[in-house]
Structure 1
Amino acid sequence: MENVKNFLNLFVEYLQIEKNYSQYTIVNYVRDIEDLLAFMTEEGITEISEVTYQDTRLFLTGLHTKNYSRKYISRKISSLRSFFKFLVREKYTEENPFALASLPKKEQRIPSFFYESDIDALFSASDTSTPAGKRNQALLEVLYATGIRVSECCQLKISDVDLSTDILLVTGKGNKQRYVPFGSYANAALQEYLSAGRAELEKKSSARNEFLFLNAKGTPLTERGVRYILDKMITQTSTIFHIHPHMFRHTFATHLLNEGADLRSVQELLGHAHLSSTQVYTHVSKEQLRKTYMSHHPRA
């Protein structure tokens, strides 16, 4: 099994250097591959080249019997398929036993999103007389105005914000960059935060940095920090009981489509590589149209 562990180390280097994947993504890949290694040990398989298609079916059957979700199993298959594809490319093995493994059909879940009244309640929850309140207001406005991922928001630097043209330079998955516009409300909140809030937060730390959003200690705000801020703001509203940061992205896409934006434009704004990822939001729009029809048509 020593060779297999060496292969895993080489694969991690490939993901870091060639694919430029985030540490979070790489950790998931490693976890999935380590599960296969544990299976190989149980089955007495010592070489990676000995893994057959029949072994993969046995491995996946074990996952199904443990009642793992289809999404979880699909991720395992994708990770291991990529791992063996790399090994075949590097000539460490001749075949990819996961090449024929079929992905379970995805559960069709409609993304949760905010109604406009919910958004208004959140926007009125910030105490904008404090530096942290100014930051929170700017954070909310940017997330809703742009639909960027929370991870992308946390990576924004001051130089990525152009207040004269209302454009953000966003670095997304795979280090791909895109320009995303924002509106007057986000512009006003950002100007207020940058002129009177961020400098006060930065004083809390001896180190200086160029990240746009800072936490109470003056260091870059993290995804966990964003969740904490939102949870704290929820306690100050009475209309929203459970939210997660990604809901702003869902809301951004849903509201655009509800107002008539075309799917391709929304895809580009969200930074989706495939249109199918954006199409999930059409289900939300259709449901909204159905409710409107049922409420207003005389013979509904």
Structure 2
Amino acid sequence: MLLSEATDRYTVHLADVRRLSGATVRAYRADLADLAAVVGDREIADIHLDALRDWLWTATRRGDARSTIARRAAAARGLFEWALEGGMVEIDPTLRLVTPKRGRTLPNVASADGLAELLDTLVAAAADGDPLALRDAAILELLYGAALRVSELCGTDTVDLDRSNATVRVLGKGAKERVVPYGAPAARALDAYLVRARPVLAARSATAGSALFLGARGSRIGTRAVYDLVARTVGPVVGATTVGPHVLRHSAATHLLDGGADLRAVQEMLGHASLGTTQIYTHVSGERLAAAYRLAHPRA
């Protein structure tokens, strides 16, 4: 079987059987297309360890980030493991493939005071009833208040909100469902949006359906619109020109830990499969602690 055909079948397996997200499947497909571009679209059984090493070395010389190279190696490992189980290859060459460890980069985090001031300003600006202003305030309050991923927010329907208990049910990575609480400011912003703004936006389109958040034309809001909203509003607070919705998730996790939240509770709220993924936020908090110590302690 040619590499291109194996890639097609493997990515279908990732989407339909393993239920990975569309973004992950697209990334793996692009990685394996890069492999074919370097080693050629040959029989998968003829791809050996040396060819895979050359492929990763090409990526290194090209200047690809360590995280990208590590992901590409993971894509190859998954492909050959799947091919071995299916009898398409007799030996898995990736068993001896060594790749660089992913670098741990600390995420951008907004200060709690800076975010509070921004969100209060947006809520006040929406007081005149502008539908988009009300929607934007509710989006940012929920992204931060529930530490959601942008895909989770955009995929949420009105029935997923339990307004009496201030929780939202979301579908996370790997189609894993979880119920997340949100606070009083998010509850007030959501109530204002649902009563005063969503009906106005829904009337603009026949495709509004049950989507919680709607775009200016009345259909379900897309991730690009949320990215633009966050970059425009939260970017100046973080002091970065390129920020996305994840900055609010990062900030929420860090502020929870700074406030004394249990690490495993934060893991459950974020929907992380591994506690190690959540632990990066302890490093962020630790950096702040060290900075405060150096600044204030007389024996620092």
Partners of 1:48 and 1:192 in 2: CA distance: 57
1:106 aligns with 2:105: no
Compare 28-37 and 75-84 and name the one that shifted more: 28-37
Question: What letter matches 1:7 in structure 2?
Answer: A
Question: What letter matches 1:30 in structure 2?
Answer: R
State the shift of 1:299 in Å: 3.4
Structural mapping, 1:204-283, within 5 Å = 204-233=204-233, 240=239, 242=241, 243-283=243-283
8 Å contact kept, 2:141–2:189: yes
Partners of 1:72 and 1:232 in 2: CA distance: 28
Relative distance call for 1:6 and 1:259 in structure 2 (3 A) is same
Q: Which residue of 119, 127, 131 corresponds with 2:115?
A: 119
8 Å contact kept, 2:170–2:177: yes
8 Å contact kept, 1:263–1:278: yes
State the shift of 1:24 in Å: 2.0
Alignment-derived partner of residue 157 in structure 1: 157
State the shift of 1:238 in Å: 7.6
Question: What letter matches 1:29 in structure 2?
Answer: Y
SS at match of 1:152: helix
8 Å contact kept, 1:166–1:187: yes
Relative distance call for 1:247 and 1:234 in structure 2 (3 A) is closer
1:26 aligns with 2:25: yes
Ranges in structure 1 where 5+ consecutive residues have no aligned partner: none
Compare 162-171 and 119-128 and name the one that shifted more: 119-128
Structure with the largest fraction of helix: 2
- Residues matched between the structures, number: 295
State the shift of 1:207 in Å: 2.3
Question: What letter matches 1:116 in structure 2?
Answer: A
Question: What letter matches 1:207 in structure 2?
Answer: T
State the shift of 1:284 in Å: 0.9
SS at match of 2:105: coil
State the shift of 1:186 in Å: 0.8
Aligned residues: CA RMSD:
1.9
Q: Deviations over 1:15-34 (max 9, x none)?
A: 12101122222111111111
Q: Report sequence identity in percent.
A: 33
State the shift of 1:106 in Å: 2.2
8 Å contact kept, 1:121–1:239: no
Question: What letter matches 1:293 in structure 2?
Answer: Y
8 Å contact kept, 2:169–2:179: yes
Partners of 2:237 and 2:273 in 1: CA distance: 37
Partners of 1:46 and 1:231 in 2: CA distance: 43
Structural mapping, 1:92-103, within 5 Å = 92-103=88-99
Runs of 4+, deviation exceeding 4 Å: 237-241
Ranges in structure 2 where 5+ consecutive residues have no aligned partner: none
State the shift of 1:120 in Å: 2.6
Question: What letter matches 1:133 in structure 2?
Answer: A
8 Å contact kept, 1:114–1:247: yes
8 Å contact kept, 1:118–1:240: no
Q: What TM-score comes out, normalization by structure 2 length? A: 0.92
Q: Which residue of 81, 84, 87 corresponds with 1:85?
A: 81
Alignment-derived partner of residue 54 in structure 1: 50
SS at match of 1:125: helix
Q: What TM-score comes out, normalization by structure 1 length? A: 0.92
SS at match of 1:98: helix
Partners of 1:104 and 1:37 in 2: CA distance: 21
Partners of 1:228 and 1:99 in 2: CA distance: 42
Partners of 1:67 and 1:254 in 2: CA distance: 31
Compare 77-86 and 49-58 and name the one that shifted more: 49-58
